[in-house]
Amino acid sequence: MLVSMIVLGVLALMVIVGLGRPVLKDFRIHWIAALVFFAAVIGLNFIPLISIGSFTFSVGTALFYLTIIAAFFIRSKFTTAITAFAAALIFGGLIYAATRVSLLTGNEFFGTTNYAYALIMGFIAFILARNGKYSFLIAAEAMMLANMLVQIGNPEFGLNYGFDWAVVAAATAFTFHALTVLILTHLPADKRGKSRLAEMFEADRLKD
């Protein structure tokens, strides 16, 4: 959980200094709302774990995941939201399949969710969506699903399992989008229209 708290703090700092504003523009929310959200997740995760039978969770983690799911359909074009949500489910399933294959081949490192899956998923979500909102959501949702699936068969089920990696995946997508927009906005006006990066970024990106 320490990793997720640090990463969320870094995202909050990016929002404060303005680097994360392009992502918030796609979410259509004020930067203060994002700051409050990050702070709430961090703060609420200091509350002791809640247990309901064999199910355990932190309030901050539950808030993060519930908000992520709801955000797909808030201020969104329905067809785009469904496409992004379906992509998240598919990639979550693929990550789970990759962990099973890894275990069959004796590779314990890739036999469960970890930072490698998170970084790869974040980058893929950025490339797939090229939209700050949907890249963030797809990355987080895919890792959330994978984290849940790898616990099948365990005597206990924890919502906090792999939460660090869900946040890292979302933050990776967030950072790639923010930096790409920063690069494009600082290109000379006469080169911006001819930039191959600009063409790739705008072509078939998910839009509301």
**Which pLDDT does position 1 carry in this prediction?**
80
- Residue 141, domain member (yes or no): yes
- Residue 12, domain member (yes or no): yes
- Residue 56, domain member (yes or no): yes
Average pLDDT, the chain: 91
User: How does pLDDT run across 109-149, given as a tens digit for each residue?
Assistant: 999 999 999 999 999 999 999 899 999 999 999 999 999 99
**Is the pLDDT assigned to residue 203 strictly greater than 60?**
no
The tokens describing 167, both together, are: 């946040």
- Residue 208, domain member (yes or no): no
Distance CA 89, CA 149 (A): 11
**Is the pLDDT assigned to residue 199 strictly greater than 80?**
no
- Residue 123, domain member (yes or no): yes
Total domain count for the chain? Answer: 1
The model's confidence at residue 185, banded by pLDDT at 50, 70 and 90, is: confident
**Which pLDDT does position 189 carry in this prediction?**
57
**Which pLDDT does position 187 carry in this prediction?**
66
For 185, the domain range is: 2-202
Q: Which long-range contacts (CB under 8 A, 24 or more apart) does 5-12 make?
A: 5/42, 5/45, 7/164, 7/167, 7/168, 7/171, 8/38, 8/41, 8/42, 8/167, 8/171, 9/38, 9/42, 10/171, 11/38, 11/171, 11/174, 12/38, 12/39
- Residue 129, domain member (yes or no): yes
Fill in the DSSP letter of residue 49: P
- Residue 207, domain member (yes or no): no
User: How does pLDDT run across 40-58, given as a tens digit for each residue?
Assistant: 999 999 999 999 999 999 9
- Residue 34, domain member (yes or no): yes
Distance CA 112, CA 180 (A): 30
